């Protein structure tokens, strides 16, 4: 979808979204409660919002106390060989931004604004 198509859908509001069958019940209700156009109507912004957020059916089996005590077991623990192991930080190619042609207006030295003087050698 183009940015304008996405913008158009966002402006129509969450009420116009057709959720797939796999996202129904508490999941749909939770997403809808968070994505209200008017910020005052969003779940955490309502009266007792944080309590209502934590009590939402989506979190029915979530252990908030263990999270607060930092004893909650994470859902995924990556394998790390040592402190220098970066294998879990490699970006996937499909996540990389697309190369976009610059078009007109690219004939200037955009990087000169970063304050790095060009290398010069005085002999």
3-state helix, strand, coil in the chain (%, to 5): 45, 0, 55
Of 27, 35, 34, nearest to 10 by C-alpha is 35
Mean pLDDT to the nearest integer, 67-72: 94
DSSP code at position 97? P
Task: Please write the tens of the pLDDT for every residue from 87-113.
Answer: 888 777 887 777 777 666 666 666 666
Is residue 13 predicted with pLDDT exceeding 60?
yes
Residue 115's pLDDT band, with cuts at 50, 70 and 90, is: low
Residue 42 confidence (pLDDT):
93
Is residue 7 predicted with pLDDT exceeding 80?
yes
Task: Please write the tens of the pLDDT for every residue from 32-62.
Answer: 999 998 999 999 999 999 999 999 999 999 9
Residue 102 confidence (pLDDT):
66
């Amino acid at each position: 979808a183009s940015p304008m198509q996405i913008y158009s859908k966002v402006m129509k509001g969450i009420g116009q979204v057709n959720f797939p069958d796999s996202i129904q019940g508490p999941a749909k209700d939770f997403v809808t409660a968070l994505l209200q156009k008017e910020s005052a109507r969003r779940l955490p912004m309502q009266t007792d919002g944080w309590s209502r957020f934590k009590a939402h059916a989506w979190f029915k089996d979530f252990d908030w106390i263990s999270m607060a005590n930092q004893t909650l077991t994470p859902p995924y623990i990556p394998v790390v060989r040592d402190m220098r192991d970066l294998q879990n930080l490699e970006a996937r190619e499909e996540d990389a931004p697309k190369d976009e042609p610059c078009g007109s207006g690219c004939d200037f030295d955009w990087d000169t604004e970063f304050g790095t003087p060009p290398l010069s050698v005085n002999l």
